[in-house]
Structures are given as C-alpha cells and as structure tokens.
C-alpha cells in the first residue's frame, strides 16, 4: 500500500505539506514558550497608531469607532474576523482605561455576541463596571447596504474622533473610509482582502495590510506562544519562496511540476 | 466552575471540532467520521441563525430605547421598528415566496439597496482625487501606473495610442499579479497560523471572558 493512499485523492502532497507546516508552527511556538529560542516581533507602525488614534479621540473629547469588517466566522474569511476580535479586545481595554467613549456597530451576528462579552470583561478588568454600557456594541443589519447607511449616519451624528477598521472587508470599504474622512476622524484600516487594500491605502491615515493583521494579536499581547507562531509563519514563507524559485527553474527546464501537486 | 464553562469547555469543544474537520478533509476516513465533520460544518449555519435572532432582538431593543428617550433621529427608529415587525409578520404568516413579501423585497428593499450603493460612485471620485495628489516618489509611481491603467481601459484612447493596450496588459499580468500573489501567499500562511493558534487555544483574544 502506498503511504499517499491514506490521504484524500488529489490532495496528498498539499495535505502532507500542510501537516509538516502545522507541526513546524507548533514546535517553534513551544520552543519560544519554553524560552529555548527568543523570537521578537518587529515594530508595526499601523498597530502602534491604535494608541495614537485613541489618544486623539480622548483629546478631542470625541468617540472612537471600531468596525470589525465583513468577514463571517465559520467561513473562508474567519481569519479576518478573528484578527478583528483580537484587535477589538485591545481597543476596548485601552478605551476603558483612558475613558474614551467607544462605538462598535457590527453586521456580523456571531461576532456581535463575542464583542459584547469582550467589552463587559474589559470594563470589569479596568475596575469600571458601572461605566459598562451594553449599547457600545450594536448589531445593525447583516445586509451590507443597511450597515453602510447606519454607520455613515453614526459617524456624522456622533462626530467621531477616530475610526479603526479591521478584518475582512468587501464592498463597504471605501464607503466607511470616506465617511470617516468626511467626519474628520483619524482612521486606521487593516484588511486581509487583497481587493480592498488599495482603498485603505488611499483613504486611511494608517494602513495594516495582508497577513500583518493576523499578527496584531501577538504583537499587542506579547504572548510568547503567539509570537512563536508568527516566527514559524516567517520560516514557512521563506520555504515557500525557495520552492517558488526551484519550481520556476524546473518549469524553465521543461519539467512539468503541476502533476506533483495533484497526487 | 464558572471558568470551566466559560473557558475550558469551549476550548475543548473548539479543539475537538477543529481536529475532526481537519482530519476528515485531509485523510480517507470512515463514513461516520465524515458525517460528523459535515454535521459540525452544518452547525455553523444553525449557530449563525441563532446569532441573527439575538442581533434582531438587540436591534429592536436599542431602537425602542431610542424612541422612548426621544433621542436624535427617533422617528427613523419608529420606521425601522414598523418595517422590522411588518416584514417578519408577513414572512411568517404568508411565507417567503408570497406576493406581499416579494413586493417588499422587489419594490422597497432592492431600490433602497441600489440607491445606497450608487452613492459609492461619488466617493470613488473623491478617494481617487486624494490618492492622485503627488506627495512622495511612491505616490508618483502610483499615479503613473494608475493613469496608464485607466487610459488603457478607455477604447477612445487605446485606438489612438498604439501599444497602450499591450502595456496595460503587461502591468496587470506582471507587476500587479506578482504583488497580489505575494499578498495571497502571505495570507495563506497567516490563516494557517491563526487557525493552529485557535484550535490549540493559544489565540488569547478569542477566549471569551479571559484576559
């Protein structure tokens, strides 16, 4: 019996690569956690700007708005939603400590309940239980156009001081970013959706793009296991670049490498 | 005990569900395990439906509060509440395929949706204007490439300037494609990383109720 027969047909090589990569990630994560290696995470200007954004809002006496994107949990865009939740927990903690008013309208029902719990825990942890307001996080509508309309109005009515947009974004990106600019807010845009990165780059004051948003949780929490996994991801990227170079050379030599990945 | 229900139990449920789905999608597994994996994935839809109910209740409560307190825009909250109750009522009593429900969808919901989306046209204009202001060398490169791409997509220009279409195709196929593929590879690696951390319970912020 061929060892590759244990895998689903057509996915053997890619599955094997995925498993090797996962084990490597876990290994580096554990090594960093047990201080066998000492990995550090580089500065991320966009993430450092979160404190700046909250500070600006506090100085102006205006609210901070956090938008968790359009990526739903349980779909292919869960990564963006998870990254948005990670960032939100830091934003809400900082807002609670600095006494900044926070608004977090969402169109994601599953993310809504998680965000509610994060807000409650953050205010309790900051010793400001009495300041906890369940209407900080509001569910607007799962439909994009209704969400766009409501959030745009909220930005104008509440005269927000800063706007932090994080997660997977789609059609509502430009609308949100432009409306926050029109409201005079300092804006930070972070997304893992390649098609919406140009909009954030064009309109926002600071931009966090691509897989950087998945590293935000590790960067802000300084958790060793999480930093270890980011180190593992970087090694994975180096291996992929080497494989791309080898693949390019083989293809130019006339070797058809595509069937190898369809085994 | 509270910590067990709010932290330990969800972590174990997450771990078991993640591992079962991962194994069933990679390895050739017995039919019952495959069915369990499918059921777990179907369960996401059920959870989302419950979450939508929770969200609708929250939406209703917030708007009732706004109306009672007569906060700014309270009259819009009344419109929202009437629309919400009427749509749910008609949907439940007459069915989603009924003529009345479809009338709401086709003649109220769809035009409103199109009207909101059409405003994006003007916002694209203002965003493009601000992007094209030459602030530094990077912005200049962006301006040049953007102008070439816009002109390359206009038939009136491409028929008068020979080679513009080929240049436009090259921009899209080589520099643009290599940039976006780089981002896509990074995203793929990042998603695996965040998934491993979540399944193993190492993604701190996702654990509700924990610091």
Mean pLDDT of B70-86: 88
Pairing assessment for the beta strands A102-106 and A137-139 based on DSSP bridges: parallel
Which chain B residues are closer than 8 Å to A83 by Cβ? Answer: 194
- What integer pLDDT is reported at residue A12 of this predicted model? 86
The answer to whether residue B92 scores a pLDDT higher than 60 is: yes
Q: How far is A254 from chain B (nearest CA, A)?
A: 21
- What integer pLDDT is reported at residue A246 of this predicted model? 93
Which chain B residues are closer than 8 Å to A138 by Cβ? Answer: 58-59, 62
Residue A72 near chain B (CB below 8 Å): yes
The residue behind tokens 């963006």 is A80
Residues of chain A under the 50 pLDDT cut: none
- What integer pLDDT is reported at residue B207 of this predicted model? 54
The answer to whether residue B4 scores a pLDDT higher than 50 is: yes
Tell me if residue A162 falls in helix, strand or coil: strand
Nearest Cβ partner for A82 among B28, B55, B194: B194
Which of residues B205 and A79 earns the better pLDDT score?
A79
Query: Cα separations (Å) of A132 from A107, A163, B85?
Result: 21, 20, 29
Residue A51 near chain B (CB below 8 Å): no
Helices B110-118 and B120-131 pack at an angle, to 10 degrees, of 20
Terminal Cα-to-Cα distance of chain A (whole angstroms): 15
- Residues 176-215, chain A, touching B (beta carbon < 8 A): 177-179, 181, 192, 194, 197, 199, 201-203, 209-211, 213-215
DSSP per residue, B26-71? HB---HHHHHHHHHHHHHHHHHHHHHHHHHHHHHHHHHHHHHHTT-
- What integer pLDDT is reported at residue B54 of this predicted model? 78
CB within 8 Å: A85 and B206: yes
Which chain B residues are closer than 8 Å to A89 by Cβ? Answer: 204-205
The answer to whether residue B211 scores a pLDDT higher than 50 is: no
- What integer pLDDT is reported at residue B209 of this predicted model? 47
CATH code at A45-221: 3.40.50
Residue A221 near chain B (CB below 8 Å): yes
Q: How far is B210 from chain A (nearest CA, A)?
A: 8
Which residue, A103, A95, A119, A96, is CA-closest to A65?
A103
Rounded percentage of chain B residues whose pLDDT exceeds 90 = 12
Chain segment B12-34, per-residue pLDDT in tens:
888 999 899 989 988 888 899 99
Chain segment B138-185, per-residue pLDDT in tens:
778 878 888 888 888 888 888 888 888 889 899 989 988 888 888 888
Domain ranges of chain A: 3-38+227-261, 45-221
What six digits make up the tokens of A81?
A: 């939603």
Helix (H) or strand (E) holding A167: strand A162-167
Buried b (16+ CB within 10 A) or exposed e, A112-125: bbbbbebbbbbbee
A:B CB pairs within 8 Å: 185
Which chain A residues are closer than 8 Å to B192 by Cβ? Answer: 18, 21-22, 25, 233, 236
- Residues 228-257, chain A, touching B (beta carbon < 8 A): 229-230, 232-233, 236-237, 240
Residues in Cβ contact with A117 at an 8 Å cutoff, skipping those fewer than 6 apart: B208, B209
A139: which strand partners? A106
- What integer pLDDT is reported at residue A252 of this predicted model? 93
Which chain B residues are closer than 8 Å to A209 by Cβ? Answer: 183
Nearest Cβ partner for A214 among B44, B45, B193: B193
Nearest Cβ partner for B127 among A112, A178, A225: A178
Residues in Cβ contact with B49 at an 8 Å cutoff, skipping those fewer than 6 apart: none
- What integer pLDDT is reported at residue A1 of this predicted model? 66
> Within chain B, where are the H helices?
2-3, 9-26, 31-68, 74-94, 99-104, 110-118, 120-131, 137-152, 155-158, 164-171, 177-199
Question: In whole numbers, what is the pLDDT of chain B averaged over residues?
Answer: 84
- Residues 20-49, chain A, touching B (beta carbon < 8 A): 21-22, 25-26, 29
């Amino acid at each position: 019996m061929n060892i590759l027969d244990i895998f689903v047909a057509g996915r053997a090589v890619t599955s094997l690569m995925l498993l090797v990569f996962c084990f490597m990630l876990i290994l580096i994560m554990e090594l960093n956690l047990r201080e066998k290696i000492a990995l550090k995470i580089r500065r991320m200007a966009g993430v450092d700007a979160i404190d700046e954004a909250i500070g600006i809002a506090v100085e102006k006496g205006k609210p901070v708005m956090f938008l968790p994107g359009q990526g739903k949990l349980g779909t292919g865009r869960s990564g963006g939603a998870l990254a948005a939740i990670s960032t939100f927990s830091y934003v809400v903690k900082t807002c609670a400590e600095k006494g900044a008013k926070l608004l977090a309208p969402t169109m994601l029902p599953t993310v809504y309940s998680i965000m509610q719990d994060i807000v409650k825990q953050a205010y309790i942890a900051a010793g400001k239980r009495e300041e906890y307001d369940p209407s900080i996080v509001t569910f607007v509508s799962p439909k994009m156009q209704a969400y766009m309309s409501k959030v745009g109005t909220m930005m104008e009515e509440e005269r927000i001081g800063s706007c932090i947009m994080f997660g997977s974004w789609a059609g509502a990106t430009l609308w949100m970013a432009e409306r926050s600019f029109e409201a005079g807010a300092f804006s930070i845009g972070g997304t893992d959706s390649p098609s919406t990165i140009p909009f954030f780059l064009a309109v926002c004051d600071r931009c966090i793009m691509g897989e950087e948003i998945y590293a935000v949780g590790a960067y802000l929490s300084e958790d060793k296991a999480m930093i270890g996994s980011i180190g593992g991801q970087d090694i994975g990227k180096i291996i992929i670049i080497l494989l791309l170079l080898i693949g390019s050379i083989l293809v130019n030599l006339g070797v058809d490498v595509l069937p190898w990945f369809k085994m | 005990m509270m910590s067990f229900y709010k932290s330990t139990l969800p972590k174990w449920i997450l771990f078991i569900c993640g591992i079962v789905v991962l194994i069933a999608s990679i390895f050739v597994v017995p039919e019952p395990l495959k069915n369990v994996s499918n059921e777990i994935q179907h369960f996401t839809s059920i959870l989302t439906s419950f979450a939508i109910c929770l969200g609708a209740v929250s939406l209703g409560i917030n708007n009732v509060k706004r109306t009672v307190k007569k906060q700014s825009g309270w009259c819009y909250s009344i419109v929202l509440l009437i629309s919400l109750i009427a749509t749910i009522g008609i949907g439940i009593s007459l069915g989603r395929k009924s003529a009345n429900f479809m009338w709401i969808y086709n003649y109220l919901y769809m035009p409103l949706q199109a009207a909101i989306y059409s405003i994006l046209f003007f916002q694209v204009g203002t965003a493009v204007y601000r992007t094209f202001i030459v602030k530094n060398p990077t912005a200049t490169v962006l301006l040049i490439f953007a102008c070439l791409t816009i002109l390359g997509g206009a038939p009136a220009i491409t028929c008068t300037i020979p080679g513009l279409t080929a240049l436009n195709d090259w921009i899209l196929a080589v520099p643009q494609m290599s940039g976006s593929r780089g981002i896509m590879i990074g995203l793929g690696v990042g998603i695996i990383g965040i998934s491993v951390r979540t399944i193993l319970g190492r993604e701190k912020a996702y654990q509700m109720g924990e610091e």
